[in-house]
Structure 1
Amino acid sequence: MSGCLNDDNLIGENCYDGILNNGEELIDCGGPICDPCDPCENNLWDPLLGEQWVDCGGDCGPCDPSFNGQLDPGELGIDCGCDGCPACPELCGDGLPNGFEEGVDCGGPDCDPCPTCVDGEMNGQEIGIDCGGPDCDPCPTTGDCTNGLQDGDETYIDCGGSSCPPCEGQITWKANGTLFNGDAEATASMNGTSIVLGGVSLTTAQIGFTIEEPSAGFQNGTVVTMNTATAPGTAGAYESVGGADTYSTANGGNMTMELNYVVPGGGGGYVMGTFSGNMQSAGGSSVTISQGSFSIPIN
């Protein structure tokens, strides 16, 4: 039988071949050709579809009491601190509002504080320190390169444009609780319509992301999810110190990135945001990435 197969009669890519192809969202489902994927098996929390938590509740099966987005008897925080549950601080990078968090992966006694309009820092969706964005008062415009605001023709706050110093990039993250900075390298560039960004620490740890342009285009506040279904177009990767271990959302896991400010395009573009979640190695081990943030000019 095998002798009858040749390049002329091999079966082409299809929705039943057990391979992620044809623009599928998951193997053999979703995309422009195949049947829609079962929303109860996509490893995402889809509240608009009636799910109580990730792939459970509503039209999906009932949620496990230890993973249902609610504070149940015996738990210290939401889905944590009980027999068989994770410790509450471990939930600060999972992209879900749980534990003692006041927002997604922020607030409470374990996670970093959530952004506010009165904390003296530029965070959340602000375009200046405690101003701009959908939540804070508008920023005043003075055309000053030292006022902590983005005004005039600045590429970003007090940098770039015709009169301010060039913008410098920065990226920081925690991997399994260890803090790293992109103090050796922090770069962003365009690959077609996709943004590619990443950083390298002086200790050689590396993190990088490719973000495919969303159907609605890049906008401030865009939330990007990275997992096996979005790879390779949208994916994250991490390499530990010395290249001892490598991880990727193409292997498994789930990363969430929020683009707080984005102006795509090389030679004058800029991207700023936050990220958290986890990635897997080819062997199935996992790394938790938390408290990630970046602000990088796009070259």
Structure 2
Amino acid sequence: MTTHPIFSSAVGRLTAVCFAVLWSGLTLTGCLNDDNLIGENCYDEILNNGEELIDCGGPICDPCDPCENDAWDPLLGEQWVDCGGSCEPCATNFNGVLDEGETGVDCGCAGCPACPELCGDGLMNGYETGVDCGGVDCDACPTCDDGILNGSETGIDCGGNTCDPCECLCDCTNGIQDGLEEYIDCGGPNCEPCASTISWYNAGVQYFGDATASAELVGGNLQITGISLTGAQVGFVVAEPADGWYNGYVIALNPTSLPQAAAYTSTAGM
């Protein structure tokens, strides 16, 4: 029996030493380490190990080339995204400047995109007055007095990075029903209204609930109240969903499939 080394390599703390064994005309190969795995590295041409781009950035690799990271790095001297400064010069139709022939910054010229197409690119260009907002093409930029929960606000026109702190102990963005919310992150004086409620048809006319809908599970039946007809009550029975019940579960009422059983009573008739 003759043993010949094939290769020996070291990666970090892992070492692989492999041999070929010649015995009775057979050649067997193997490695001395148990799993022969190569450790985390920055040259496998795979985006892994927390890398920002393939084989660069993250906790163990060298920083990525700022001229290839699809980001505008003005602190590194870039004029626009991955161009200018130490990078290649910017093209005239992609430089963050209103050039001759353009109707908006980097748009509306021969070879340029249409200005409305720039409202989602993460840059302030076109006719925008803020990043992807304002101007004639994009949605209005968030403000602290527009009566809308937007921007970084945690309540309507309060909280976040730019508005005054909210007077209430509320956060309309945390996925929790708290403060004066009627449901998770909606309703009450500080959050956006919750999505509507109950509606039903009678003789071709659609009716909507005129009060906040409430629901409770009673004896295995789900009872819904808060609809406009005097004394009205709608009840239905539904088997437990395959993924179980959870807070906020939505049931689509389809006459051909759901409810499995239903009853309606009202002193006003129907």
The residue that corresponds to 1:161 in the other structure is 178
Q: CA deviation at 1:28?
A: 1.4
Aligned partners of 1:161 and 1:132: how far apart in 2?
15
In 2 relative to 1, CA 22–128 (structure 1 residues): closer, same or farther, beyond 3 Å?
closer
SS of alignment partner, residue 119 of structure 2: helix
Aligned to 2:134: 107
2:97 corresponds, among 49, 54, 70, to 70
Distance 1:60 1:121, change over 3 A: same
Q: For the residues of structure 1 that align with 2:68 and 2:30, how far apart are their CA atoms?
A: 35
CA–CA distance in structure 1, aligned partners of residues 130 and 35 of structure 2:
56
Q: Does 1:126 find its partner at 2:153?
A: yes
C-alpha deviation, 1:121, in angstroms = 2.0
Distance change in 2, residues 1:31/1:75 (3 Å): same
For 1:55, the equivalent position in structure 2 comes to 82
Residue identity opposite 1:43 in structure 2: D
Percent identity, aligned pairs only, is: 68
Q: From 6, 11, 14, give the equivalent of 2:41.
A: 14
| CA distance in 1 between partners of 2:48 and 2:89 (Å) | 31
1:44 correspondence with 2:71: yes
2:67 is paired with a residue of what secondary structure?
A: helix
Note closer, same or farther for the CA distance 1:164–1:37 as it changes in structure 2 (3 Å cut). Answer: closer
Unaligned runs of 5+ in 2: 1-5, 7-19, 21-27, 187-194, 196-246, 248-270
1:155 and 1:167 in contact (8 A); partners too: no
- Tell me which structure has the larger Cα radius of gyration: 2
> Aligned equivalents of 2:29 and 2:113: distance in 1?
54
Structure 1: stretches of 5+ with no match in the other structure: 142-150, 170-182, 184-266, 268-299
Paired letter, 1:165: E
Q: How far apart, in 2, do the equivalents of 1:97 and 1:61 lie?
A: 21
Indicate if the aligned counterparts of 1:50 and 1:57 stay in contact, CA closer than 8 A: yes
Displacement of 1:16 after TM fit?
1.8
Of 124, 127, 141, the residue aligned with 1:97 is 124
Answer whether contact 1:155 1:161 (CA < 8 A) is retained: yes
Task: Assess, with a 3 A threshold, how the Cα gap between structure 1 residues 123 and 21 changes in structure 2: closer, same or farther.
Answer: closer
Q: How many residues align?
A: 160
Task: Sort the Cα spacing of 1:5 and 1:33 in 2 relative to 1 into closer, same or farther, 3 A.
Answer: farther
CA contact (8 A) 1:106 1:112 kept: yes
Q: In structure 2, what residue type is equivalent to 1:103?
A: G
Question: 1 CA distance for matches of 2:40 and 2:137?
Answer: 47
8 Å CA contact 2:172–2:185 kept in 1: the answer is no
Change over 3 Å in CA distance of 1:81–1:131 after alignment to 2: same
Q: Does 1:117 align with 2:125?
A: no
- Which has the higher relative contact order, 1 or 2, with Cα contacts under 8 A spaced 6 or more apart? 1
- The equivalent position to 1:135 in structure 2, one of 162, 173, 179, is 162
Distance 1:155 1:117 in 2: 15
